[in-house]
């Protein structure tokens, strides 16, 4: 129904535009081509100027309306640099935006067709072209240079003392794996993935490093301690979005990606800072990944080392879930089967 109405409105819009164009054509014939063209030119010049003024008022209005809605202070140390870069980029592009837009529309108004002057033919100027090519190129090189520098930093080697968490996206949830006491992740193989057998990430149980790995559905990290995320996906491309930390990284099936950062405030501290008692850090999926994409919102808890230790100790390794203690009766049954099999052989 909605689609039908949209098509109807578009069809009406087209019809109205067509009729106006036709009507103005007839008017032009009635008034004489020359006069009509000059009048249309004057109207267009005025409308362009009106567009500039209304547009600038709109820019100011949007800015005022959305002022309090942008993200607060960066919750990670690395995010501060990213914010600085963003503000510098905004300042430079902002100045260029205002200068170019004002000149564009003002010139269109000022130099509209007039009987009093003739257009000046000015086909080429090497000096001008060099200036307006080199200056933007230099500015962009500096901006991109800083961007690449910080990009290599957050995707490069994490500090020695960084904790590691593996993040796996799938339609439509996040799963987190902690390496356990040994600090080493056990091997995985995608063909071993079997949620029914308590193996949602495809851990290879022959690998002893897997025996203490813990899987959770909440990301817990420690304040002021670098954390390295090892990111993957089980199906399509997802994207780990941690907007409050200013971090973002694609989750690609088959190709692990990494990034690391240092959280600055615990969830509790941030709740106090923002004045919102219900404040939580969020992990979102920043890549359209299917119908349930919106449901990939997860919770990140930043806490002190003691709180983290208490939480992780309460979690059971996934190995234990996949290998429940055999029930006491099952052993004799197996023995009976062996005896029967032996008898059959004889």
Closest contact distance (angstroms) between CB of 158 and Cu ion is: 24
CA pseudo-torsion sign 329, 330, 335, 336 = positive
Reduce the DSSP state of residue 138 to 3 states and report it.
Answer: helix
283 belongs to the binding site for Cu ion (CB under 5 A): no
Residues 175 and 215 sit within 8 Å (Cβ to Cβ)? yes
Closest contact distance (angstroms) between CB of 251 and Cu ion is: 7
Q: How many residues bind Cu ion (CB under 5 A)?
A: 4
Residues 289 and 172 sit within 8 Å (Cβ to Cβ)? yes
Closest contact distance (angstroms) between CB of 177 and Cu ion is: 18
Pick from 238, 242, 266, 298 the residue near Cu ion by CB under 5 A: 238
289 belongs to the binding site for Cu ion (CB under 5 A): yes
Residue 231's nearest CA partner among 283, 166, 286, 284 is 166
CA distance 167 to 233: 8
Q: Which stretch binds Cu ion (CB under 5 A): 10-18, 156-164, 219-227, 231-239?
A: 231-239
Reply yes or no: is the peptide bond before residue 172 cis, omega within 30 of 0: yes
CA distance 298 to 168: 12
Q: Which stretch binds Cu ion (CB under 5 A): 59-67, 118-126, 144-152, 232-240?
A: 232-240
Pick from 167, 296, 300, 302 the residue near Cu ion by CB under 5 A: 296
Pairing mode, if any, of strands 238-242 and 247-251?
antiparallel
Closest contact distance (angstroms) between CB of 252 and Cu ion is: 12
Residues 305 and 263 sit within 8 Å (Cβ to Cβ)? no
240 belongs to the binding site for Cu ion (CB under 5 A): no
Pick from 231, 285, 300, 302 the residue near Cu ion by CB under 5 A: 285
Q: Which stretch binds Cu ion (CB under 5 A): 53-61, 236-244, 314-322, 334-342?
A: 236-244
Closest contact distance (angstroms) between CB of 230 and Cu ion is: 17
Closest contact distance (angstroms) between CB of 255 and Cu ion is: 16
Q: Name every residue whose Cβ is closer than 8 Å to that of residue 145 and which is 6 or more positions away in sequence.
A: none
Residues in contact with Cu ion by the rule CB under 5 A = 238, 285, 289, 296
């Amino acid at each position: 129904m909605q689609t039908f109405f949209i098509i109807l409105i578009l069809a009406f819009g087209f019809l109205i535009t067509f009729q106006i164009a036709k009507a103005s054509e007839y008017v032009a014939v009635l008034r004489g081509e020359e006069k009509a063209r000059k009048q249309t030119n004057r109207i267009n010049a005025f409308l362009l100027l009106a567009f500039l003024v209304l547009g600038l008022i709109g820019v100011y209005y949007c800015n005022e309306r959305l002022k309090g809605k942008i993200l607060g202070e960066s919750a990670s140390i690395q995010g501060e640099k990213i914010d600085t870069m963003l503000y510098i980029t905004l300042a430079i592009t902002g100045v260029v935006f205002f200068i170019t837009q004002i000149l564009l529309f003002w010139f269109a108004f000022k130099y509209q067709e007039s009987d009093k002057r003739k257009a000046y033919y000015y086909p080429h100027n090497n000096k001008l072209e060099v200036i307006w090519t080199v200056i933007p190129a230099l500015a962009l090189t500096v901006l991109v240079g800083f961007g690449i520098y910080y990009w290599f930093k957050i995707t490069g080697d994490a500090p020695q003392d960084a904790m590691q968490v593996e993040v796996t996206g799938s339609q439509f949830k996040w799963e987190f794996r902690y390496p356990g006491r040994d600090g080493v992740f056990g091997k995985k193989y995608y063909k071993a993935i079997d949620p029914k057998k308590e193996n949602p990430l495809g851990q290879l149980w022959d690998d002893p490093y897997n025996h203490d790995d813990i899987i959770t559905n909440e990301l817990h990290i420690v304040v002021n301690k670098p954390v390295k995320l090892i990111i993957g996906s089980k199906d399509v491309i997802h994207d780990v979005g941690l907007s409050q930390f200013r971090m973002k990284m694609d989750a690609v099936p088959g190709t692990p990606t990494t990034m690391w950062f240092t959280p600055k405030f615990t969830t509790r501290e941030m709740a106090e800072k923002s004045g919102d008692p219900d404040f939580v850090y969020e992990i979102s999926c920043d890549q359209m990944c299917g119908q349930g994409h919106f449901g990939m919102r997860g919770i990140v808890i930043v806490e002190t080392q003691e709180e983290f230790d208490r939480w992780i100790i309460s979690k059971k390794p996934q190995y234990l879930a996949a290998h429940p203690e055999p029930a006491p009766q099952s052993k004799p049954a197996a023995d009976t089967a062996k005896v029967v099999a032996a008898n059959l052989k004889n």
